[in-house]
Structure 1
Amino acid sequence: MDKLRALELFIAACDSGSFAAAATMCNTDPSTVSKAISRLESQLQVTLLQRSTRQLSITQAGNQYLSTARKLLQDLLACEDELRHLNDSPNGVLKINSAVCYGHLYLRPILAAFCDRYPAIQLELQINDLHTDVIESGVDIAIRTGFIKDSRLVAKRLSPMDFFVCASPDYLQQHGTPRCQHDFNVHKWIGFRIKETQQLQPIYLPDEQDEYQLYDLKSSHITDDGEMMVSMCEDGLGFAQLPHFLAKSGLESGKLISIYPHFRPPEIENGVFAIYPKRTYLPTKVRVFIEFLTEALAQKGESAYQTWAVHTVNHQANTESD
């Protein structure tokens, strides 16, 4: 029998004055109560209760032990109640790790509204493009592109990733619009270097049957920052293959033109994921943030199965080739 159960039976016996009454209070039998208290006395090498045929009387040592035991169990119950409250009420520090571009473009605009709704939550944000061990670093939620295969973690897809092949209107006016994938060989291309692997992001272009294929194009310029890639593209330095969350603002403002319809890579790992430690009870602060982010994405026309790109028409440029 564990020590806490023995303490519960001891306290019940002291409060009720008999093993039988204590057994009734604790939903057990009198012999179990008697054995538990005898075991405590054996461990302590003191007598806690004096037994008689009519009643129990507590010894001086028993009184001292009772006071400590009662306070211990009360403190434990209070702690458990507090923890249950913490899990039920959205409060405390919420530690979020996010990829840089997604953090700036999608998370930052919703943070003020989230804090207004949940003022008892304090945010701690880590914005970087490096792999983070969610469990070792104590992160509550990581927002990452690409699926992380780790049995200790849950990966909830927030949206797929749709890509656009973009250029600025000025670039297309000066250099013409490619009419097939081979035309890109004479155009400038802005490559994206993935910080984690130091590999260039693969480029997909449609073939003559409008099937997207992997192409090995020489990059004229390379950057490892997504927002810098967008700026370079808007400034006319060449074409760039941009994920939907990076392309959105430029396409809406007219600073960028997509020369093909959006493309979604076929890999099952494709997407933006909310990643958090696997546990029996998900903290409320984590749950409400994921729900809030999901609501914000829905307002953009995004869900686990689609992005806003599905509602766009082909932005193909009408600029004629030189």
Structure 2
Amino acid sequence: MESLISIECFVRSAEAGSFAAAARRLGLTPAAVSKNVARLENNLGVRLFQRSTRSLKLTESGERFLDEASGSLASLQSAIANLASADGQPSGVLKVSMGLVFGRDYILPLLPDFLERYPAIRPDWHFDNRQVDLISEGFDAAIGGGFELPPGVVARKLSPAHLVLLASRDYLDTHPPIRYPSDLPSHDGIRIRSPQTGRVRPWPLVNRQHAQAPIALKERMTLSDPEAACSAALMGLGITLVSMQHALPYLDDGRLVRVLPEWYVNAGNTSIYFTAQKLLPAKTRAFVDYVADHFRNSGLEQRFSAI
């Protein structure tokens, strides 16, 4: 009977494409991972990888074994984690990725009640404005939006991902009036560069009648952070486009106002992502359910809508 660690070393090496990357995820040395895979190959009597100094490639037998072993490994690990839960309660390290401002403003405040309810869970939360690879980087879950689901990952919707145009009252009072999207070309734009692509996305505006219009602002400046863009808008430097999640604090206290309030950008949904497993670890299930319930019951799902 093969040991669980040998099979996990093989699966993680296949997913990551190297023993070194698998070792970082597993908390082992590359030599230990390589040794465990070699032991597995010896016991099975087949070569699972073709090795070279630059690459690690699955053999035909390795591909077949990976297809059959990876799902079973996830189920076994989930079953073990759930059995090992403290007093039948979810437990263990909960590794989650989320955006910096979103995580700080909307997820971190949930921590006291969540830990009171699940004291055996230890959060390991990463505040990164990027899309992480749940499987290869070893995350239990991630919160974000605006990207396609990779294989083996599912999503649970938290709220719409709408973006709105914002400006200061001083800017609007000292510049030509904006009644229609066609008025935007005469105004300064504070654009935001995508952290994924490094480019400014050419979002179209939409309204309730499903009409579309371009955001044809003059590109006065380009920034990489929505909070910086809102600060620039507060200084009266132009009009910016940010998500409702970033806009709400400024709209609530009146520091910024919506430009063309009947128009917005529909960027899909903000969701919580996790791996598609029949036996999801209890700690992950607890977190997913808790966050989703909070968004629904607190009204954040509605507040993040620009409609």
Report the TM-score range of the alignment, normalised by the length of the smaller protein.
Answer: 0.5 to 0.7
* TM, length-normalised to structure 2: 0.66
Paired position in structure 2 for 1:211: 211
Task: Tell me if 1:174 matches 2:169.
Answer: no
Where does structure 2 lack aligned partners over 5 or more consecutive residues?
A: 3-78
Where does structure 1 lack aligned partners over 5 or more consecutive residues?
A: 4-79, 313-322
String of CA shifts for 1:22-57, please: whole Å, max 9, x gaps: xxxxxxxxxxxxxxxxxxxxxxxxxxxxxxxxxxxx
Q: Which amino acid aligns with 1:230?
A: C
* Superposition RMSD in Å: 2.7
Residue 214 of structure 1 and its aligned partner are, at CA, apart by 2.9
Paired position in structure 1 for 2:277: 279
Q: How does 1:104-143 map onto structure 2 within 5 Å?
A: 104-143=104-143
C-alpha change, 1:300 and 1:239, in structure 2 (3 Å) is: farther
Q: Distance in 2 between matches of 1:299 and 1:244?
A: 18
String of CA shifts for 1:142-193, please: whole Å, max 9, x gaps: 1111243222111222111122211111211222431222322221111010
Larger Rg: 1 or 2?
Answer: 1
Given that residues 162 and 263 in structure 1 are in contact (C-alpha distance below 8 angstroms), is that contact kept between their aligned partners in structure 2? Answer: no
Residue 311 of structure 1 and its aligned partner are, at CA, apart by 8.6
- The alignment of Structure 1 onto Structure 2 pairs a total of residues equal to 229
Residue 282 of structure 1 and its aligned partner are, at CA, apart by 1.1
Q: Distance in 1 between matches of 2:132 and 2:234?
A: 31
Q: How does 1:1-322 map onto structure 2 within 5 Å?
A: 83-86=82-85, 89-205=89-205, 211-261=211-261, 263=263, 265=265, 270-303=268-301, 307-308=302-303
Identity of aligned residues (%): 27
Q: Distance in 2 between matches of 1:118 and 1:235?
A: 44
Given that residues 187 and 218 in structure 2 are in contact (C-alpha distance below 8 angstroms), is that contact kept between their aligned partners in structure 1? Answer: no
Given that residues 191 and 201 in structure 1 are in contact (C-alpha distance below 8 angstroms), is that contact kept between their aligned partners in structure 2? Answer: no
String of CA shifts for 1:256-285, please: whole Å, max 9, x gaps: 111333656556xx1111111111111111
C-alpha change, 1:116 and 1:94, in structure 2 (3 Å) is: same
Q: Which has the higher strand share?
A: 2
Paired position in structure 2 for 1:6: none
Given that residues 223 and 229 in structure 2 are in contact (C-alpha distance below 8 angstroms), is that contact kept between their aligned partners in structure 1? Answer: yes
Given that residues 203 and 217 in structure 1 are in contact (C-alpha distance below 8 angstroms), is that contact kept between their aligned partners in structure 2? Answer: no
* TM, length-normalised to structure 1: 0.64
Name the SS of the counterpart of 2:106 in structure 1: helix
Residue 253 of structure 1 and its aligned partner are, at CA, apart by 0.4
Q: Which amino acid aligns with 2:180?
A: C
